[in-house]
Amino acid sequence: MKRVLITGAAGFLGSHLCDRFINEGFYVIGMDNLITGDLKNIAHLFKNEHFEFYHHDVTKFVHVPGNLDYILHFASPASPIDYLKIPIQTLKVGSLGTHNLLGLAKAKNARILIASTSEVYGDPLIHPQTEYYYGNVNTIGPRGVYDEAKRFQESLTMAYHNFHGLETRIVRIFNTYGPRMRLNDGRVIPAFMGQALRGEDLTIFGDGNQTRSFCYVDDQIEGIFRLLMSDYHLPVNIGNPNEITINDFAKEIIQLTGTDQKIVYKPLPENDPLQRQPDTSLAKKILNWEAKTDRKTGLQKTFDYFKTLSAEELQKEEHKDFSKYIY
């Protein structure tokens, strides 16, 4: 059997990747230090003879016995509520963690795919964003710890590709949503749906005219899988180019949830991008991929998942003690 290591395996995207590779007939090794991941996302895999889990922080030396064919590096805080609480760990997982995993890939002669992000474009000056745009990022702003960790990660990956001849892939992930998102992770879809389920008003930061485009998780996983199996080593955007303002999106959520919440406005966070829309023509050309799930269908599936959460889970805030991870 082909063997694959997936870091960040207990997270939102990581857990869906574990499912996909199990279904594709791979032996899957999941790895996560559980800072933001949750074992419940992969609990259904624990009895599977083709899955094993390592509780480990990839910023420390990574050892996996036996051969590896592929590595997917998805370990990283990915929400502002996380990387503003653990900025040092966010920088370390993008730098030291990536270095450790590139070294492991070199030692195992494995192909490695690095999860980058649309945040490498910062608050973009071109629209939509193509892979050839270098970005507009504030290196010392509050979001810089995440943006620059990912930009450095891309540079380090390309250095290993060019200097060592390592088989590398880089996916730039745009806003993705679906089941297993954390309800209180600060991103707009779980935030709006959580507020609707609790009967609270929907909170928009800024005037609501900023735009986002949302890709359903199944489409995102398909794009990642195709990129890994391709022979293309430069960055590729994977996302849904169907753009919507946050104001219009809030109205969609109210209609979906059947609630009568009001919309309240608060100040826009510093360096929050005003436009986010991927140009996915390269993915279509190279991978024959494009997002297929319409937003109404994807949002309904996501809302159905959140409705299964207990009342306690709906009410709780994120109070995890991050202090032990800042070093």
Domain assignment present for 76: yes
H/E run at residue 285: helix 281-287
Contact status, residue 171 vs residue 282, Cβ threshold 8 Å: no
- Which residues, 6 or more positions from 22, have their beta carbon under 8 angstroms from its beta carbon? 28, 45, 48, 50, 51
Whether 206 is covered by a domain: the verdict is no
Give the residue, 314 or 77, on which the prediction is more confident: 77
Q: Quick check: is 96 in a domain? A: yes
Asked if residue 19 is part of any domain, the answer here is: yes
**Alpha-carbon span 47 to 44, nearest angstrom:** 7
Residue 69's domain comprises: 3-178+216-241+273-293
Helical H runs in 34-143?
80-83, 87-92, 98-108
Please indicate, yes or no, if residue 51 is contained in any of the structural domains: yes
pTM: 0.94
**Helix, strand counts (H, E) of the chain:** 11, 13
Q: Which two tokens stand for residue 302?
A: 């996501």
| Both tokens assigned to 143 | 């979001």
Separation CA 160–CA 155 (nearest Å): 9
Rounded distance, CA 168 to CA 153, Å?
12
Q: How many CA atoms lie within 13 A of 195 on its CB side?
A: 20
Compute the distance between CA of residue 32 and CA of residue 93 in angstroms, rounded to an integer.
11
Provide the pLDDT for residue 310. 67
With H, G, I as helix, E, B as strand and everything else as coil, classify residue 263.
Answer: strand
**Is the pLDDT reported for residue 13 higher than 70?**
yes
Percent of the chain beyond pLDDT 90?
76
Residue 39: per-residue pLDDT:
97
Is the pLDDT assigned to residue 313 strictly greater than 80?
no
Q: Tell whether 260 is covered by a domain.
A: no
Within a domain: residue 254?
Answer: no
Tell me the catalytic residues.
Answer: 146
169 lies in some domain: yes
Whole-number average pLDDT of the chain: 92
Give me the CATH number covering residue 53. Answer: 3.40.50.720
Tally of domains in the chain: 1
Please give the pLDDT value at position 186. 80
